[in-house]
Amino acid sequence: MPLATTADLVASARAAGRGVAAFNVITLEHAEGIVAGAERAGASVILQISENAVKFHGGHLRPVAAAAVEVARAAGVDVSVHLDHVEDVTLLHESAAAGLSSVMFDASHLDYAENVAATRAAAEWGHANGLFVEAELGKVGGKDGAHAPGVRTDPAEAAEFVAATGVDALAVAVGSSHAMVERTAALDLDLIAALVTALPVPLVLHGSSGVADDNLRAAVNAGMTKVNIGTILNVAFTGAVRDVLDGDAKVVDPRKYLRPARDEVAAVAARLASVVSGMPR
């Protein structure tokens, strides 16, 4: 299918009262597994490449972006490619030429006024280059204190931030945290509903790996649109690799452990894409 845009996928999901799952890509096997799972679920998805993933690939966006874009183009469902948690403005400015249709610019580590100024500049550049721009107000937990447990987004401040920056979507703090390996986070559904009422743009949930399926469904029903998922894929991927290598110390062919790892990513992606999109598997 033709490469989809994040703007179209998010708009369609929001209009239908559904969510769209955005899965983190680190390796080619991640991208292939995610798309295989999306096809199994019959759901559109977003492939996300984070700034940290780019650093893992030697600081070069184009090779990993090109791989994700080609996997998306070959998919049997609509798939877009997104650059996530970008703090480096130089990397931001590489995104459009790399074939991506959206970016999450992350200035949440700055104080409010600096965040507004940096995000507004990123949004103006992104819109001039045809990109859908997501941002984050304040902190949401996990990594180095960002997204800290207990932090919550204030609807009035969020509305002010969106108006001041012109962003197309906002990541909000409603109870989730990045990098959780146990699904114990409890989302504030009343706050999600209040944010939906207060904001003219779709909401984005980060740290969704730590949220149980029923709570994810409830969050989408409350108005959450884009749902970011990463760590739970890596738990499945690494578990499959570990099982193969622990079972046979003589295995040296990477295909012997990357194939089951990719299959496990596909299984998790299929389930969560169905949960978020509201489509039964």
User: How confident is the model at residue 138, as a pLDDT?
Assistant: 67
What was the pLDDT predicted at 181?
Answer: 43
Task: Output the pLDDT for position 141.
Answer: 46
Query: pLDDT by residue for the chain (281 residues), tens digit each?
Result: 789 999 999 999 999 999 999 999 999 999 999 999 999 999 999 999 999 999 999 999 999 999 999 999 999 999 999 999 999 999 999 999 999 999 999 998 888 899 999 999 999 999 999 999 999 986 554 444 444 556 788 899 999 999 999 999 999 988 655 444 455 466 888 899 999 999 999 999 987 777 878 888 999 999 999 999 999 999 999 999 999 999 999 999 999 999 999 999 999 999 999 999 987 64
Give the contacts of 123 (CB within 8 A, at least 6 positions apart): 105, 133, 135, 165, 166, 167, 168
DSSP bridge partners of 84: 50
Residue 88 φ then ψ, to 5°: -80, 115
**pLDDT given for residue 264 in this prediction:** 98
Give the pLDDT score at 280.
61
The upper half-sphere exposure of residue 195, i.e. CA atoms within 13 Å in the direction of its Cβ, equals 30
Evaluate whether 99 touches 127 at the Cβ level (below 8 Å).
no
Q: In the Cβ-directed half-sphere of 238, how many Cα atoms lie within 13 Å?
A: 8
Instruction: Give dist(CA 231, CA 24) in Å, integer.
Output: 8
Alpha helices in the chain (DSSP H): 6-16, 28-41, 51-56, 61-73, 89-92, 112-128, 155-165, 189-198, 213-222, 231-247, 254-277
Q: What is the Cα–Cα distance from 241 to 238, expressed in whole angstroms?
A: 5
Residue 143: the pLDDT is 44
Q: Known catalytic residue: 84?
A: yes
With 0-12 CB in 10 A as exposed, 13-18 as middle and 19+ as buried, what is 277? buried
Which one is catalytic: 78, 84, 168, 188?
84
Cα separation of 25 and 47, whole Å?
A: 6
